[in-house]
Structure 1
Amino acid sequence: MKPHLLKNAAFHTTPVLLGALLAACGGKDARPDTPTETACVPLQLERDVNLDGFRTDRYAWRDAHCKPRSASLVRNDAPDPADWTGGYVRRYTYDVAGTTRVCDGSDAVPGWGIVASHLRASEEWGNWTEKIQGTGRTLFEGRHHALHEFRWPLTLDGHVVDVTVHYLFATGRSHPLYAITHDASRAPPDAIHADVRSPYGDIRFDGAGNADITGVGWGDRYRFTTLSAEGVLSRANGWDYRESNVVPYTRMFINPANAEMGVVQTQTWEQKPAGGYWNYANWGLVDEDGPLPEDWNWTYQLNQYQLPEQGPTRSHRMAWGSNFGALGYREYPRYGDDSGLSGYPYQSYSVFMVLGTKDSDPVFSQVNEVERWQHVRFTASEGRVLERGPGGVGRDDLVAFDVPGYNPVYATWEAEAAANNRAVLHFDAGTRGVRHPVLVVRGYTASTPPARVTLDGEALTADVDYFASVDAAGKALWLTLARTVDQTVSLHIE
């Protein structure tokens, strides 16, 4: 079952929740999110786990509340039991009130994280990684942080596009980060006219997978949400597209199962536009009586092609999206058709793959976090804050960060250590707050974590107040601060 094609043949160029908040009476500017002093257990990697015939590498970590989560990544070097070739999350688990919710890939599409692109005008619809064998490896396995890499040669319109995907797992960060680069440099410019829809997939985010979808939504320059008096998604639903938006996202939820799934970009829409086609004509409008927009013109592909003419759906399909030309064209129109962007030779972006309970509002919580990061002032009095980095995974070219020190590839705060492996770093977060920032100190040459970490002079405890990993090969220290940071704080690493 292939991703659905656009029906329109014309090419148009016109028409947080934060954790515990600071009490009103005041308190420390950087504080634990929970009163417990119980250590979070380190990240665990189980290699080559047989999951009902799927050969997987299982990453288990603790989320922002020190609750267990896991993701089983199917190896992409051979056919799997679903007659695909892996490279996706087959099983995802997380804690719901002390019970483990197990979310497996569906029967139609066996998991989430699949690479998919559609071609604008071709005898072929496009391609995805269903039958393409590639390579996979653990790039870095630290005590509390890990990077897993997949690579494929994806053929589009007779040309090979080299695709690289990284999954980042980190203690203290609930949602895995998915970073992708499409490298079309083996093809001439403007030879490939494709969109990007990764991470594409279908995973039963409510566990059982036997409940009707309540609603969907997305964010581009505005927020679109479905309206339903009956409590289920149908083509007759009304919709609201009036609220302005900063960070791109997609969202799907099931109220009776208290479950939600979504994708949240690590950059703002202005920094990295997302979404495609022509539904932007409805920006700022509402239609309470419906029906929903035509399926081919949704800004992102969700489950609209599995939505019957009458009645609800139980499809958990979700994808990302862009305009055609985002892969392969030197200039293509961004969504809104008001400016041009480049999709050659690279198209790179990073998103969070979000699963959680509907009550915890996980998608909008992550959206709010990314929005807050844009207002942070990150400086160093010992060491140096990095202002440039690779433009994406699998790339060597350097690009300037929109926010000095904030690397959107991994959603990390990055600095270079001083000559003695020390660093003194300062967060000025104002009143917005930054929850559990993940730092990467480059040029860190020690083979062990720092002997002492302090925050505004207070000694912090490893595995409780912060979670550290040493990447000896990459000469980097990864450190998640188990705090919500408000105002200005100083972090000493020595």
Structure 2
Amino acid sequence: MLATPVVAVERTNATIKGQKAVVFKWRDSAGRFRSVALKREGAGNSGHGGYAIRMTYNYLDSTGAKRTVTADAPKDDGFGYFVSHERYRKFTDGESNTIAGKIFGKDDSPLGRGFAVTGRVGADGKKFKSYRFKTVYPRYGAKAPGGIDDNTGDDQPPLGLSQSLFQLYELPVTITWSFQDGRDHPRIQTVVDLSRIPGPDLVSFDLRGPYGKLDFNAGSGAITRVVWGDAAYHFTTTSPTLTRNSTWTWNAANDESRYTALIAGQFEMGLFEPQPVAGTKINDGFAFGRGQTDATHDAAGAGCGGQALPCDWEWPYQSAQYELPYDNPNGVTTSEKIAWGSTAYYGMSLGSTYDGTRSVPFNGFPTNRKLSYSVCVVLGQTVAGSLTRFDASGGGDYNCARVD
């Protein structure tokens, strides 16, 4: 009797901790199995679907024995859904706030896992498979376009205070997960559709998807280090554990790719854009600390005295900054939240944005009305300098699944 052949990328249905999921399993570049379980919409599941609730990967321990890490999501959470924050706007009463918060008393950045999705099979080859989720994300904006003060980045003229001046727009969002035989990293492509917005300069928001949490080290160890590379510089904390008093550098030039990673002991979870920064699809937000170190950055002058780290809002990616305790500058966190990030001027017609060190060409409202970008998801044992950074600097295929 002939043995059943191994499918290069396998797709099955399974139940993970009581939740129905579509599971993808494949062999990575070392020939070891990895898997991703994507929560389904409906099928008896609580809440909504469209994101990963479990990932598994293998590694070799110090004795050479193969070990498996099962990276599960915390209860009622997961990784890979879309989130966006509205830009803080300037109003005629002098206040800076979001339209959602000030005018409508609503959350300006609801979690994408709170919205219904439709899911369907994408590519279905032997060595490459994908799965696509579609949802609609709400975004408050003005009814009439306004301008921006080039010197401050604030609305000019300021926005009025009547609800009649604003409305809720819908942004269709498509998230495609891709898996490829022989590659370590799955790819997540996000496409935000602006076609339901009449024109530019009505909404203004950032891009933080993919977003969420997985216990990537299968334990409760504290985050020991944070690293990232924006479109200009590499960042790394240089203290033994991550706290608000951690020392850091953010002044080594980055000519590789954009990336962000969390490191907990010997394990790491990260995201990177699989192309050089010269062709990045995303613009960075403004930061006082970019190009500096903890010794030269004036945290008090930037508006966040009491900590050595750059202000929470300065980080180009949402990460552990909001997970660290505010009442203890030496406190650690075990919360493993990670997300992408960008400037908050998407939806606007600006020709450039300023990151704190330079102006960068910008297209926040493309003629095809589609904001499209990809990231690769890294899980594994960390290496000196970060596994995510190493793979982000690889060039070529970046050890990542191709785009669907």
Could you say what secondary structure the match of 1:339 adopts? strand
CA shift in 2, pair 1:332/1:355, >3 Å: farther
Match of 1:145 among 116, 125, 128: 128
Could you say what secondary structure the match of 1:359 adopts? coil
Letter paired with 1:338: S
Q: Does 1:339 align with 2:360?
A: yes
Match of 1:362 among 375, 381, 387: 387
CA shift in 2, pair 1:80/1:331, >3 Å: farther
User: Is the contact made by 2:228 and 2:236 (CA closer than 8 Å) also made in structure 1?
Assistant: yes
Letter paired with 1:232: T
Q: Percent identity?
A: 30
Could you say what secondary structure the match of 1:127 adopts? coil
Could you say what secondary structure the match of 2:383 adopts? helix
CA shift in 2, pair 1:245/1:88, >3 Å: same
Q: Does 1:130 align with 2:113?
A: yes
The equivalent of 2:145 in structure 1 is none
Inter-partner Cα distance in structure 1 for 2:291 and 2:349: 31
RMSD: 2.4
* Cα shift readout 1:311-369 (whole Å, capped 9, x = no counterpart): 1000101111111122x223364452503412222211001011111138420221122
CA deviation after TM superposition for structure 1 residue 138, in Å: 1.1
Q: Does 1:116 align with 2:78?
A: no
Could you say what secondary structure the match of 2:388 adopts? helix
Could you say what secondary structure the match of 1:205 adopts? coil
Inter-partner Cα distance in structure 2 for 1:365 and 1:172: 18
Inter-partner Cα distance in structure 1 for 2:354 and 2:34: 35
User: Is the contact made by 1:165 and 1:180 (CA closer than 8 Å) also made in structure 2?
Assistant: yes
CA shift in 2, pair 1:156/1:45, >3 Å: same
State the TM-score, normalizing by the size of structure 1. 0.63
Q: Does 1:291 align with 2:299?
A: no
Letter paired with 1:364: R
Inter-partner Cα distance in structure 1 for 2:402 and 2:324: 42
The equivalent of 1:245 in structure 2 is 254
Letter paired with 1:61: W
Could you say what secondary structure the match of 1:117 adopts? coil
The equivalent of 2:224 in structure 1 is 214
Could you say what secondary structure the match of 2:393 adopts? helix
Letter paired with 2:82: V
Higher RCO structure (Cα 8 Å, ≥6 apart): 2
CA shift in 2, pair 1:436/1:101, >3 Å: closer
User: Is the contact made by 1:78 and 1:86 (CA closer than 8 Å) also made in structure 2?
Assistant: no
CA deviation after TM superposition for structure 1 residue 278, in Å: 2.4
Inter-partner Cα distance in structure 1 for 2:50 and 2:400: 28
State the TM-score, normalizing by the size of structure 2. 0.76
CA shift in 2, pair 1:176/1:334, >3 Å: farther
CA deviation after TM superposition for structure 1 residue 287, in Å: 2.3
Match of 1:75 among 40, 49, 57: 40
CA deviation after TM superposition for structure 1 residue 268, in Å: 2.2
User: Is the contact made by 1:77 and 1:134 (CA closer than 8 Å) also made in structure 2?
Assistant: no
Inter-partner Cα distance in structure 2 for 1:88 and 1:117: 16
CA shift in 2, pair 1:166/1:333, >3 Å: same
Match of 2:319 among 302, 307, 332: 302
After TM superposition, the structure 1 = structure 2 runs for residues 7-406 of structure 1, keeping only pairs within 5 Å, are: 42-47=8-13, 49-77=14-42, 80-81=45-46, 83=47, 85-97=48-60, 98-107=66-75, 110-120=77-87, 121-123=98-100, 124=106, 125-157=108-140, 158-189=168-199, 190-208=201-219, 210-220=220-230, 221-228=232-239, 231-246=240-255, 247-255=257-265, 258-272=266-280, 274=282, 276-279=284-287, 281-287=288-294, 291-309=308-326, 310=328, 311-326=331-346, 328-331=347-350, 333-334=352-353, 336=355, 338-344=359-365, 345-359=369-383, 361-369=386-394, 372-373=395-396
Letter paired with 2:379: L
User: Is the contact made by 1:323 and 1:335 (CA closer than 8 Å) also made in structure 2?
Assistant: no
The equivalent of 2:160 in structure 1 is none
Inter-partner Cα distance in structure 2 for 1:53 and 1:314: 25
User: Is the contact made by 2:58 and 2:67 (CA closer than 8 Å) also made in structure 1?
Assistant: yes
**Unmatched 5+ residue regions in structure 1?**
1-38, 374-410, 412-434, 441-477, 479-494
CA shift in 2, pair 1:142/1:204, >3 Å: same
User: Is the contact made by 2:8 and 2:26 (CA closer than 8 Å) also made in structure 1?
Assistant: yes
Inter-partner Cα distance in structure 2 for 1:316 and 1:436: 23
CA shift in 2, pair 1:251/1:439, >3 Å: closer
Q: What is the number of residues matched between the two proteins?
A: 330
Letter paired with 1:216: V
Inter-partner Cα distance in structure 2 for 1:40 and 1:366: 27
Letter paired with 2:363: S
- Runs of 4+ in structure 1 over 6 Å off: 435-440
Letter paired with 2:20: R
CA shift in 2, pair 1:356/1:335, >3 Å: farther
Could you say what secondary structure the match of 1:266 adopts? coil
Inter-partner Cα distance in structure 2 for 1:133 and 1:79: 14
Inter-partner Cα distance in structure 1 for 2:216 and 2:316: 22
Inter-partner Cα distance in structure 1 for 2:136 and 2:295: 45
* Cα shift readout 1:426-472 (whole Å, capped 9, x = no counterpart): xxxxxxxxx769789xxxxxxxxxxxxxxxxxxxxxxxxxxxxxxxx
Could you say what secondary structure the match of 2:113 adopts? coil
